[in-house]
Structure 1
Amino acid sequence: MHVIDSDSEDELPPGWEEKSTEDGNVYFVNTCNNKIQWTHPRTGCKKVIPKELPFGWTKMVDEDGKTVYLQHETGNKTYIDPRLAFAREEKKHIHDFRQRFDSSSTAFQVLHGVDLSGKFALITGCNAGIGYETAKSLARHGCSVVLANRNMEATEAAIKQIVKETNASEDNLKAVHLDLSSLQSVKQCAAAVKAIFASNLDMLILNAAIFGYGFEETEDRIDRTLQVNHLSHLYLTLLLEPLLKSGSRVIFVSSESHRMANLKNVFVNQDLACPKDWYSSMTAYNNSKLYNVVTAKVLSGEWKHKRIAVNSLHPGNMVSTNLSKSWWLYRLLFFLVRPFTKSLQQAAATTVYVATAAELEGVTGLYFNNCFYCEDSALARDEEIAKAVFSISLKMIVERMGPTDIKMYLDKYCMNEHR
């Protein structure tokens, strides 16, 4: 068996070395007695490394017949298998993983060494802000990205800027029109995406949101904040389900604001919107973010058997984005707190982590903050509230678009209606 010598970045006892076989297994050598074992001498755990080389690396054979690795960006060569730098403990339980990143980590750091070539992602609300940084970060590592936005001119400009900043191939970046204030536009967007992705969609990132709007009805007679932040994203997700396969990941970008949701009188009229007589733009936003979390939980249960992961997350507190553009007071507040908040690259880190991290394979139904899972609110953990939100959401969609696209969910969650 040909082996590749390598030094591990883990803390090993004196006299121990970490090595890899040609086929990618990790083992440990005690240099004092030349004994070999497959478990870490300190933790007792087995370790695994990625099947593919890190992004930007190529394996070759030198003149002496030895395996050598080339890093294209720097031109450096090494006999050490670069995958060892990304070795991780083999999980005994699906949630057994350590926190590798935190609030200061950037999306680029999260993706260090990750090759996304051959992966496909769709991101909503990504011509600026956190969504743009998410799209840029994924594209930089070879991912094909569809940018779904309302303003197509701004989207085309964003694509050109991504190519300029990352040297990503423009062929891997597509723009598709999506107006989340129109359920008909959502349906047209889904049809366009299905034409682009004939086979599968690896990442569906539901990032778009609005904030600070007063009560304002859309063409579908739905409160704008509720429809843009929640209902249209749910409809888009259900329409794109045929593209989601085993290993696909769906990410609802929510907010810590979901903890301040107020559901008083919300279920009375069966439409989830805050009643007009006590409408608050802040409450409408908070509630929509709660709906994101519970929707992710319901869908995670529905699709777990298909190995489609559905999670939600908080990107960062008071991040300076276009989200605050609707009212001058919010713009002033965001300006004042800007020195104490995350950069856009840091804010995109949790989204990118949940969408790509190898240790999250099979992890579903969780809420993440600062690149690690945490407990969501008591309301978000209430299964009856989750079922009510999902059921009412389906009814609202059917009343406007008919039952055809989501019939299987109607039969389960609204079986007494729409038969």
Structure 2
Amino acid sequence: MVFNDGLRIRQEARAAGLPYVSDGELSKRVITQAKKTPERSWLGEVSAVILQQSLADLNAAYRNFFASLSGGRKGAKVAPPRFRSRKDDRQAIRFTRNAKFKITASGRLRLPKIGDLSVRWSRSLPSEPSSVTVIKDRAGRYFASFVVELADEPLPETTTKVGIDLGLKHFAILSDGRKITNPRFLRRAEKRLKRAQRALSRKQKGSRNREKARLRLARAHVRVADARREFHHQLSTRLIRENQAVAVENLAVKGLARTRLAKSVHDAGWAQFVAMLEYKAARHGRAFIRIGRFVPTSQVCSACGLGDGPKPLHVRRWTCPRCGAVHDRDVNAAINVAKAAGLAVTACGAQVRPGSVPAQRGEAGTHPKQPTPRWKQAGSPV
């Protein structure tokens, strides 16, 4: 509500040709003054920190939008802030240290103006948390995500390095010849999801039975997402532990998601997997390298370097006309990814290890403009 009120005030000021409403003025109007009105008097029943954090999210969204317009923000263009809906799949509130949240001796999470919550801890917190975000997902589950300061945990050095070619038939093909089968979690659950979707479509809108059917469908979807995330975690951890350096190709996932392979591309979840590789490599002292998407990894012989031109997808094995080497298309691509990564590091002398650890996707994190040390989120289901 605070987010939407602040966004509405700024949009109305812009439409009327008035100056941009400052952060301080906005806080005064949508929080301090709004609490005194009958329509918004209930704002006094919740922690003020939550309200301030909602405005902070709005201000960050505007800063990102303005930076994108001026060219100060790299990547795709950022759209202006949009109104939030109470029907959004994901609802979250954030408590900082100012809110004085507490973990009790009995292992409960004490939140201001809410009380003590029972928590099923997925892990113990390594240090004092700086904030906690309480998240409600589409299936009605609640999670508590803590931001804690965590020291790096370097692994023993090893001599092995690996290039990874991501695909659909096999999820990952490694430069040492190993092929990781694609689990296809969404494809395997399609029949169950279709039944749940049909059951939802038959229910009367606004009825309790429709809400029950919606929850059954949402739970079926989150089971697929949880299984995919667990697979990515296990595989990325194993690759980081086994190899000193990991190289992957920077795939154009958005472009592939607009083709007839869209469902399979989303089912594979390459972006989530690569993000896990990146932050785990930084935390454990491994090298992580991205190869440009325009490197012709499948068109070049990994033995002699001859560029044999593009090949249709049905060609899975081919013979180099110069050296006579017989290549598996995917293994050859993985070897070329590893070679391109080694050449790139040698040529530019760049430091492969990034200066800060990227946050895990979908969890709470620190503000990007703060001078942060290495951070990691510890999530716990409530």
TM bucket normalised to smaller: under 0.3
Q: Report the structure number with the largest CA radius of gyration.
A: 2
- Normalised by the length of structure 2, the TM-score is 0.26
- Normalised by the length of structure 1, the TM-score is 0.25
Tell me which of the two structures has the higher relative contact order, counting C-alpha pairs closer than 8 angstroms and 6 or more residues apart. Answer: 2
